[in-house]
Amino acid sequence: MILVHTPRKLISELIECRQVERCIVMCTIAALEPGMGWYHLTCKVCSRKVQYEPPLVTGDRDEDDLNKFKIYCAVCKCYDPELLPRYKLHLVVQDKTGSSKFVIFDHLALQMVHKPCIELTGPVTNEIQDQDLIPMALQELIGKTYLFKVEILRENFAYKYDTFKVNKISTNRDIISEFHKCG
C-alpha cells in the first residue's frame, strides 16, 4: 500500500527537505508543464527511451531536422527499433502551501488516464508529433487531487532541482479522503 511507513509532507516541506527520502504528498494537478511534452518514443522490446543520432556526413547535417537522424536503442544496440510511445508527464502540482513539479512515467500515468499512450498518439512514426497539442484525456487531469509517493533525490536539494519523480500514485477516492481527514 502507498501509505505504509512513508512520511507525509506538504509541498512546502518537500521543497525545503534536505535529505534523500520518499514521502507522500496530497496535491492537485494545476497544469501540464508547458514545453515539456507528454510522451516519449521508446523501444518496444526493452521499453527504454530511444536516441536520435545525427547523420555522419558532415555536409548533410541539419540539427533541427529529426527526419534525417537515425533512431538507436542503446540497450538493445540496434538502429531503427520498433517504437512504442510511452507517457512522460511533467505536472505542475499544488497544495495549500505552494506548488512544485512532478514527473510521472508510463505505468503510473496509465492509472490516471485509463488509456494507453498509443491510443492518444495514434499510429507510431519515427518522429514525435506536436506535443503542444494536449489530448482531452490529459487536460481532464487538471483540477484532480491524488496521493503521490515521491522521491526526494540529492539533486533536488543540492542543486535546487525542482522536479520530483513519482514512484507510486493513489487514485482511490476513499484512500485520498482518509488521508485528508488524518492530515
Q: What is the pLDDT of residues 129-138, one digit of tens each?
A: 667 788 999 9
Q: Is the pLDDT of residue 54 over 90?
A: no
Q: Is the pLDDT of residue 141 over 60?
A: yes
- 69 within a domain of the structure (yes/no): yes
15 and 72 both lie in a single domain: no
**CATH of residue 124:** 2.40.50.140
- Residue 68 belongs to domain spanning: 45-81
Beta pairing, strands 98-105 & 163-170? parallel
33 and 118 both lie in a single domain: yes
> How high is the pLDDT of residue 58?
46
SS3 121: helix
Most confidently predicted of 17-31, 43-57, 130-144:
17-31
Q: Identify residue 159 by its one-letter amino acid code.
A: Y
> How high is the pLDDT of residue 61?
53
pLDDT band at 143 (very low <50, low <70, confident <90, very high): very high
- 151 within a domain of the structure (yes/no): yes
Domain total for the chain? Answer: 2
> How high is the pLDDT of residue 161?
85
- 3 within a domain of the structure (yes/no): no
| Closest C-alpha among 62, 8, 16, 17 to residue 183 | 8
53 and 122 both lie in a single domain: no
60 and 112 both lie in a single domain: no
- Give me 140's grid cell: 481532464
User: What are the residues facing 3 on neighbouring strands?
Assistant: none
96 and 75 both lie in a single domain: no
> How high is the pLDDT of residue 116?
95
Cα–Cα dist 151/141, whole Å: 21
- 1 within a domain of the structure (yes/no): no
Cα–Cα dist 40/128, whole Å: 7
> How high is the pLDDT of residue 183?
67
- Assess contact for 92 and 104: CB atoms under 8 A: no
- 109 within a domain of the structure (yes/no): yes
Cα–Cα dist 112/60, whole Å: 43
- Assess contact for 144 and 28: CB atoms under 8 A: yes
Q: Identify residue 153 by its one-letter amino acid code.
A: L
Q: Is the pLDDT of residue 6 over 80?
A: yes
- 4 within a domain of the structure (yes/no): no
- 2 within a domain of the structure (yes/no): no
Kindly give the residue spans of alpha helices, DSSP state H, lying in 27-172. 106-113, 117-121, 136-139, 154-158
